[in-house]
Amino acid sequence: MIRERAYPVEPWHIRETQLDMDVLAQSESVFALSNGHVGLRGNLDEGEPHGLPGTYLNSFYELRPLPYAEAGFGFPESGQTIVNVTNGKLIRLLVDDEPLDVRYGELLAHERILDLRAGTLHRTLHWRSPAGREVRVHSTRLVSFRQRSVAAIRYEVEVADDKPLRLIVQSELVANETLPPQSRDPRVAAVLESPLLAEEELTTEDGGLLIHRTKVSGLRVAAAMEHEVDSPAHTSIESEGYEDWVRTTVGCVLEPGQKLRVVKYLTYGWSSRRSLPALRDQVGAALAAARLDGWDGLVREQREYLDEFWDAADVDVDGDPEVQQAVRFGLFHVLQAGARAERRPISAKGLTGPGYDGHAFWDTEMFVLPVLTYTHPAAVRDALYWRYSTLEQAHERARTLNLEGAAFPWRTIQGPESSGYWPAGTAAFHIAAGIADAVRRYVLVSGDRQLEREIGLTLLVETARLWRSLGHHDRNGQFHIDGVTGPDEYTAVKNDNIYTNLMAQRNLLAAAEVVMRYRDEAFHLGVTDEEAAAWRDAAAGMHVPYDEEIDVHQQVEGFTRLQEWDFAHTPQDKYPLLLHYPYFDLYRKQVVKQADLVLAMHWRGDAFTPEQKLRNFLYYERRTVRDSSLSACTQAVLAAEVGYHELAHSYLREAALMDLHDLNENTRDGVHMASLAGAWIALVAGFGGLRDHDGVPSFAPRLSSRIGRLSFSLQWCGMRLRVDVRPHQTTYALHHAEPDAVLELRHYGEPVRVTCAEPVTVPVPPPSEDLPPPEQPPGRAPLLRLPEHLS
Ligand code: BGC
């Protein structure tokens, strides 16, 4: 775990004040820079020591076998895995005759700062070599938001003692770096070891390029670099290259206090179709563009991009500075994952690490996109186009499964199902409804009718078709979706998962509605009036299992009569349960990995009464172990809605601090994008009470006792709504709108009209009292309660 105070609490920075080798891999994820196209882990400039080297390009993957001991029909045979591409971050330094390596000599000072407003990673170190020579190094790294294939590093070395010093800087591109083993299966490991075949290497005096391709997926990648050198002394510069590496070497002798400065421009391009010369030219052109801006220009553009983002997306939290820092950190990583993904996936770890093989899951549509929809909708538009681009494969998958419409993959990079475990893969059909809901929300919030017509209609229709063919009406007309897995992966292949059913219901109704708006286009998709009527019938008959005896909803049919999990005899070191208990046992008992029915009560809150929500929340809270990082934020949202604001605050902290404190002890593989997005969700949907069920933004704000004020901005049809919540009142203000624009919203169910003329302030009703105390399974209370000085 990253120690409690590893990163001092500051509103706009993640600062690491000393280098802790034990958490190097975790910090590489935390300090990863990306723009959604290129991702650089926060590896040290000199490459070593490292936890996990990593450089990724969105959708640059290799195919690997998915081996089964006992295969079955429809099991995917190969999976996609993100590849660690050519490393262009490397800058090694020879100090007199010794390489700078923090494991040797003396590290007198070391600091790294991720600057959330500047979009840069800054590093300062003061090192004494074993021979006693001292240097100070300042490096600043960025992955450009404006120029998607460009990264740049400014590396500055200063002589920090009193004698002249010879310095040699070696800046490199290295392909096929040796990585720690990623898979225990030798068949898989073999494919991922040295995954790149050399195609071309080229050097100029001050840089060079490498072109490689993958062995099986046939993708080609080009990486190029160029340097600008600034030094007061005579400086030599030369480059050499081989199959898997290119090196530019800069040498000089400096006097005490003098500085050598090297700016490295780095560009990447990849393609499955473009020829080698075309790719070579592409990275060359990107280098020219980067040099045209120069280092200062790139830094300025980065800042401008982020100023615009924060202007629209920032959340202000008074009363919990750790959450303030963490929610900005989370938003920054969410932006990094999606900003320039441009019709490629936003994966569960973004481009910060190799976790989950670089796959995108439902995390994208149900956790990341809701945040981006309200803060940076352009990225959502792209992400939906990416899903749409995988439609053919989803059709094919549906055909294989004897279903109609589109069966989108549970996990994938470029479209095919890459899950080798069908009960928590293929059976998790709910991803289809998540995609449909993301379309619905994006169109509602952005007003983008062009997307609705071009792809939204098709996505809604094809997912509705899936539901209609997956479910069936019983003899009483009730519609059931049997044998599926909901979000809770400890309850698999069951009938009538409420989350799935209610989300499918909304999907079916949205499809039936949208085909009325685009009759011609729907006709081309073969939709008839009968088909749309069948969707409505299925939605109307949707079964929602309820236990009348104890008055709670059943997460799946029969859930409440299953045997209880023996929590009292489950030692704490047996969590996460999936690593210590067989699935067959988890599946047949009342134990919940992650919010499922509780998630349904968030996104389909319109299908439950307030009393049901409270009873359900208490029932499932006692059975939810949170073995997934996708749970805490939802528990925060519902805890806040039913009246447990202090508990909501603790869950908010867990979601927000997941990576800054490495709570699940796997941040090394990449940050938890859904949980980071969840920090925003917990604040805005939890304490702000934002819902968008019925086409207007509605709020029910109420803060925990520690938060004195919460304010956030939301985009709504091109306008910007600023919501300022205080303990007893909320102010709604409209910005960036035409002078006569009006935004109709709801505050605790009451209509409120907001215009540009003046903000509207309304009271927050007092909280309900006398709620029964909520309980979690023993030892499974939220991980991060408020620190002493705050509670
Ligand atoms: C969760 C899934 C999630 C996946 C990727 C799993 O542990 O149970 O809901 O999609 O992680 O984040």
Residue 594, annotated ligand binder? yes
The single-letter code of the amino acid at 400 is T
The per-residue pLDDT for 791 is 44
- Does the beta carbon of 486 lie inside 6 Å of ligand 1? no
Q: Is the peptide bond before 576 cis (omega within 30 degrees of 0)?
A: yes
Tell me if 489 CB under 6 Å of ligand 1: yes
- The DSSP bridge partners found for residue 16 are 112
> Does 212 fall in a domain?
yes
Q: What local confidence, expressed as pLDDT, does residue 179 receive?
A: 86
443 lies in some domain: no
593 marked ligand binding residue: yes
Residue 395 lies in a domain: no
Report pLDDT for 6: 73
Pairing label, strands 742-747, 698-699 = parallel
Distance, CA of 392 to CA of 614 (rounded, Å): 42
pLDDT digits (tens, 9 = 90+) for 165-191: 999 999 999 999 988 876 566 655 666
Residue 436 maps to a domain? no
356 lines ligand 1 (CB under 6 A): yes
Q: Give 618's contacts (C-beta < 8 A, 6+ positions apart).
A: 772, 774, 775
Check if 361 has its Cβ closer than 6 Å to any atom of ligand 1. yes
Give the number of other Cβ atoms within 10 Å of residue 263's Cβ: 21
The residue ranges of the chain whose pLDDT is under 70 are 1-5, 182-191, 785-791
| 582 alpha carbon – ligand 1 mean position (Å) | 18
Domain-embedded: residue 189: yes
459 CA to middle of ligand 1, Å? Answer: 23
Q: Could you tell me the distance, in angstroms and rounded to a whole number, from the CA of residue 501 to the centre of ligand 1? A: 20
Contacts of 679 (CB under 8 A, 6+ apart): 323, 326, 327, 330, 633, 652, 655, 656
Residue 628 CA, closest ligand 1 atom number? 7
Contacts of 133 (CB under 8 A, 6+ apart): 95, 96, 98, 161, 163, 165
In Å, how far from its chain's centre is CA 49? 27
363 is in an annotated binding site: yes
CB atoms within 10 A of CB 704: 23
* Residues designated catalytic: 489
362 annotated as belonging to a binding site for a ligand: yes
Other C-beta atoms closer than 10 Å to the C-beta of 537 total: 16
Number of domains in the chain: 1
Radius of gyration of the chain (CA): 27
Measure the CA–CA gap between 182 and 144, rounded to whole angstroms. Answer: 29
Say if 740 falls within a structural domain: no
Query: Can you give the residue range of the structural domain that contains 239?
Result: 31-65+79-307
285 contact partners, CB below 8 Å, separation of at least 6: none
HSE of 145 in the Cβ direction (CA atoms, 13 Å)?
25
Find out whether the peptide bond into 195 is cis, omega within 30 degrees of 0: no
Q: Which atom of ligand 1 is closest in space to residue 674's alpha carbon?
A: 12
Phi, then psi, of 436 in degrees rounded to 5: -60, -40
Q: Is residue 177 part of a domain?
A: yes
SS3 135: strand
Give per-residue pLDDT as tens, 689-705.
999 998 999 999 999 99
On whether residue 783 sits in a domain, the answer given is: no
Determine the atom of ligand 1 nearest the C-alpha atom of 428: 9
What pLDDT score does 625 carry? 98
Give me ligand 1 centre to Cα 678, in Å. Answer: 13
**Cα-based distances in Å from 489 to 417, 554, 581, 618:** 18, 15, 13, 20
Q: What is the DSSP letter of 42?
A: -
Name the residue at shortest CA distance from atom 4 of ligand 1: 361
What does the pLDDT read at residue 755? 95
- The residue type of 678 is G
Q: Whose CA is nearest to atom 12 of ligand 1?
A: 348
List the CATH number of the domain containing 48.
2.70.98.40
Atom of ligand 1 nearest to the CA of 672: 12
Q: Bridge partners of 786? A: none
Ligand 1 pocket residue status of 630, Cβ below 6 Å: yes
